[in-house]
């Protein structure tokens, strides 16, 4: 069967790759992956990636240093990646008409650069759901700058905020997924005949892979057209994007959709049978956890001497085993309010690294190439793999229905 060549950016320990390699028709071939953890001598995520995968080119270079030539040479059909939520504002270049300039070190521009040099058929990106609202002072600006850039590069875009637990997984993890396809694809042409509403609710990429009801939550639905001037968007655009949406030619339709919930896996179901003593906590540590998870009111003083009361509500004493786990963060290995606390017949304990992997749907011991602390860190950064498999299956469906003669635009 025809293969789709994939580049995995910000690859971490390979969540996208495992997900895509598990699809029904095994159409995906990851031929280039890049992973580089800034300012770390030991590259744990990259080492784990190369330990687990033997094919394709594995690049361990700061993505900003990867040349246009190397990107263009990969000639891939799909670019995938989970990238940080940063400040995407732009300004007109000082040199005058020579285009626009984004802030240095902002990694979305590296994705845009890659797309520009390869013009892949599809893109599939992941980010925290906060991206839709950022920055707080100009709600929606960053996502609008992103959409405008992808529009300019020739892509129609669908997005959906997905909570993994809503679709049968063991963790409440809300992430935004962004799927784009080149406007002149056969698929884009076929979907062009459909309304934005139809795409979001019924026939689009996410509607097919992650079914929703016909309901619109609190009637939250709206449309907007992006300015053609990205600097104008960056300076003035402010808007409430809802969890589902579609953009074609800069015209946006967005709605607050409601999932067709699937029975989740519970935290209790993914726990290991035998757990090493090292994960059980001393009385002192249990007390610390109890304090952190409890309700509190603390008097604090700001740098300029202003006094205020910091308060937070209480959480359950330990994590419920009969529902999906809370979101796992990169700080999972430290004693902190968001770290999971389990009570079993032997006592109080934290998660084991294997349980952390299971919460994301990774194979057991996937990250056993690195110290525990880093295993939790990498899982806090990673995505829920079965979601990607569902998306991969949907891309395969599209591919089997609409075969384009040439997959790449000839840019060079
Ligand atoms: C959100 S995580 C992606 C995790 C991945 N999806 C997974 O399943 O493990 C983002 C990754 O980008 C990497 N990264 C950060 N800055 C980078 C840069 N300048 N060049 C390349 N990779 C970078 C981080 O080390 C991190 O592993």
Across the 412 residues of the chain, what is the mean pLDDT of every consecutive 10-residue run? 93 98 98 94 97 97 96 96 85 69 86 96 96 93 96 97 98 98 90 93 97 95 95 94 97 98 97 97 97 93 90 95 97 95 97 98 98 97 98 96 60 42
In a domain, 151, yes or no: yes
Looking at the CA of residue 84, tell me the nearest atom of ligand 1. 1
Nearest Cα residue to atom 27 of ligand 1: 12
Q: Which residues line ligand 1 (CB under 6 A)?
A: 10, 12-13, 15-16, 34-38, 45, 62-64, 82, 107, 381-383
Active-site residue identified among 80, 85, 118, 342: 85
In a domain, 231, yes or no: yes
pLDDT of residue 14: 98
* Whether residue 231 sits in one domain with residue 377: no
* Whether residue 257 sits in one domain with residue 286: no
- Contact criterion met (CB below 8 Å) for 118 and 72: yes
Instruction: Give CA separation, 174 vs 93, 119, 120, 326, in Å.
Output: 36, 29, 27, 10
Measure the CA–CA gap between 279 and 153, rounded to whole angstroms: 49
In a domain, 313, yes or no: yes
* Whether residue 275 sits in one domain with residue 256: no
In a domain, 223, yes or no: yes
What's the number of domains the chain is made of?
A: 2
In a domain, 372, yes or no: yes
Given ligand 1 and candidates 6, 12, 50, 370, which is best to mutate, with the most ligand atoms within 8 Å of its CB?
A: 12
pLDDT of residue 412: 38
Q: Who contacts 377 (Cβ-Cβ below 8 Å, separation ≥6)?
A: 330, 332, 333
Q: What is the 3-state secondary structure (H, E, C) of 181-224?
A: EECCCHHHHHHHCCCHHHHHHHHCHHHHHCCEEEEEEEEEEEEE
| Omega within 30 of 0 (cis) for the link into 51 | no
Residue 37 CA to ligand 1 center (angstroms) comes to: 7
In a domain, 410, yes or no: no
Residue 17 CA to ligand 1 center (angstroms) comes to: 13
Residue 128 CA to ligand 1 center (angstroms) comes to: 13
* Whether residue 274 sits in one domain with residue 297: yes
* Whether residue 199 sits in one domain with residue 93: yes
In a domain, 360, yes or no: yes
Looking at the CA of residue 64, tell me the nearest atom of ligand 1. 19
Residue 11 CA to ligand 1 center (angstroms) comes to: 6
* Whether residue 118 sits in one domain with residue 31: yes
CATH number at residue 284: 3.90.120.10
Q: Which of 15, 48, 9, 12 lies closest to 31, judged by CA?
A: 9
* Whether residue 273 sits in one domain with residue 243: no
In a domain, 342, yes or no: yes
Nearest Cα residue to atom 2 of ligand 1: 381
Looking at the CA of residue 62, tell me the nearest atom of ligand 1. 20
Looking at the CA of residue 15, tell me the nearest atom of ligand 1. 8
CATH number at residue 179: 3.40.50.150
* Whether residue 186 sits in one domain with residue 94: yes
Active site annotation includes 48: no
* Whether residue 300 sits in one domain with residue 188: no
Burial of residue 295, with CB atoms counted within 10 A of its CB: 0-12 exposed, 13-18 middle, 19 or more buried: exposed
* Whether residue 341 sits in one domain with residue 396: no
Looking at the CA of residue 126, tell me the nearest atom of ligand 1. 6
* Whether residue 186 sits in one domain with residue 115: yes
Residue 50 CA to ligand 1 center (angstroms) comes to: 15
pLDDT of residue 85: 75
* Whether residue 353 sits in one domain with residue 302: yes
Measure the CA–CA gap between 282 and 334, rounded to whole angstroms: 14
Domain of residue 279 covers 267-381
Given ligand 1 and candidates 14, 35, 39, 359, which is best to mutate, with the most ligand atoms within 8 Å of its CB?
A: 35
Residue 36 CA to ligand 1 center (angstroms) comes to: 7
DSSP summary character for residue 164: G
């Amino acid at each position: 069967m025809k293969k789709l060549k994939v580049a995995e950016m910000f690859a971490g320990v390979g969540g996208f790759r495992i997900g895509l390699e598990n699809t029904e028709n095994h159409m995906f071939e990851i031929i280039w992956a890049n992973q580089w953890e800034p300012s770390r001598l030991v590259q744990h995520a990259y080492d784990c990636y190369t330990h687990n995968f033997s094919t394709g080119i594995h690049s361990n270079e700061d993505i900003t240093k990867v040349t246009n030539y190397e990107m263009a040479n990969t000639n891939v059909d799909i670019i995938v990646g989970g990238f940080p939520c940063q400040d995407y504002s732009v300004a007109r270049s000082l040199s005058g008409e020579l285009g626009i300039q984004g802030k240095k070190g902002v990694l979305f521009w590296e994705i845009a650069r890659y797309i520009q040099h390869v013009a892949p058929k599809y893109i599939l990106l992941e980010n925290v759901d906060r991206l839709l609202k950022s920055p707080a002072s100009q709600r929606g600006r960053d996502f609008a700058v992103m959409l405008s850039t992808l529009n300019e590069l020739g892509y129609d875009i669908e997005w959906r905020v997905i909570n993994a637990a809503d679709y049968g997984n063991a963790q409440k993890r809300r992430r935004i997924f962004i799927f784009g396809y080149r406007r002149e694809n056969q698929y884009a042409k076929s979907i062009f005949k459909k309304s934005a509403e139809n795409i979001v609710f019924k026939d689009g990429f996410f509607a097919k892979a992650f079914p929703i009801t016909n309901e619109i939550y609190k009637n939250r639905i709206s449309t907007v057209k992006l300015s053609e001037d990205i600097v104008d968007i960056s300076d003035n655009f402010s808007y409430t994007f809802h969890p589902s949406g579609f953009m074609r030619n800069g015209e946006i339709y967005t709605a607050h959709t409601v999932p067709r919930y699937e029975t989740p896996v519970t935290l209790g179901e993914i726990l290991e049978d035998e757990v090493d003593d090292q994960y059980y906590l001393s009385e002192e540590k249990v007390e610390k956890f109890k304090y952190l998870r409890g309700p509190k009111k603390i008097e604090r003083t700001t740098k300029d001497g202003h006094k205020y009361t910091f308060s937070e509500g209480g959480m359950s004493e330990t994590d419920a085993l009969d529902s999906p786990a809370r979101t796992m963060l990169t700080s999972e290995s430290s004693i902190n309010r968001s770290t999971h606390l389990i009570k079993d017949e032997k006592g109080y304990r934290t998660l084991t690294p294997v349980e952390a992997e299971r919460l994301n749907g990774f194979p057991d011991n996937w990250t056993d190439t690195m110290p525990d602390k880093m295993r939790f860190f990498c899982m806090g950064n990673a995505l829920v793999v079965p979601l990607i498999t569902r998306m991969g299956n949907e891309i395969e469906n599209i591919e089997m229905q609409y075969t384009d003669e040439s997959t790449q635009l000839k840019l060079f």
